[in-house]
Amino acid sequence: MTLESRYRRVLLKISGEALTGDQQFGFDWNTVRRIAADVHEVHKMGVQVCLVIGGGNIFRGAAAAREGMERAGADYIGMLATVVNALAMQHALENIGVETRVMSAIPMQNVCEPYIRRRGLRHLERERVVIFAAGTGNPYFTTDTAAALRAAEMECDCLLKGTHTVDGVYSADPRIDRDAERFDRLSYLEVLAKDLRVMDAAAITLARDSNIPIVVFSIKEPGSFARVLAGKDRSTIVAGDSGPGIITGKQKRVRS
């Protein structure tokens, strides 16, 4: 069955932990290759794809700060971990023929390109997958916020959060609370008011201000990325209150 995406340009945010598979740390290469294959499938659908990958499989700045490490320094280490993950994903994508660029908010020209907005847009227009690394380049900001920021800067039609634990947004952790309520659709304000921890508050606010819908889904099953874009898989939509559908005025926007 041929799938058709309801969006033309999207940003996929995944956690570093999503790359670990059943391991506790680092990479499970089968998982990395499987996610790369999912991105390739979406790319073949004609969708322009960019990614932000967290660094929690290598280092978590917030956790280190709780152990007494100076927060800004800990966050910079976490940013470097995201560059490692981005380079690993680039390797997996290019091994299956997907032209890919890594752009880092912290300049390191020997291993990847510095982030320049207009250059990122040009890469997408040339049908390259772009991986944004090193967060926003600033401490105290999460990769969720970086994902929302890059989605806005790249004029994305949708921000997808691929989780490795749940298939949408719940009122509580369904692995712990069997009575947790699953939501099919929420507004940005409901997410903030209910403190649902879909993404951090800065990311939700930025997505709201940019009118970019957030789609939360499970990326554990092969092909789920493409199915969600086609509306064929379970997910939770976080969007405004101005209409019943998940498609905003940005749907399949024609770009010059």
What is the structure's pLDDT at 256? 32
Decide if pLDDT at 43 tops 50: yes
Structure confidence by residue, pLDDT tens digits, 49-65: 999 999 999 998 778 88
How far apart are alpha carbons 29 and 34 in whole angstroms? 8
- Examine the pLDDT at 12 and tell me if it is beyond 90: yes
Tens-place pLDDT, residues 130-164: 999 999 999 999 999 999 999 999 999 999 999 98
Per-residue pLDDT of 76-111, as tens digits, reads 999 999 999 999 999 999 999 999 999 999 999 999
Taken in order of first residue, the domains within the chain and their CATH numbers are: 9-239 (3.40.1160.10)
100 touches 130 (CB < 8 A): yes
What pLDDT score was predicted for residue 252?
A: 40
pTM for this structure? 0.91
Q: How confident is the model at residue 24 (pLDDT cuts 50, 70, 90)?
A: confident
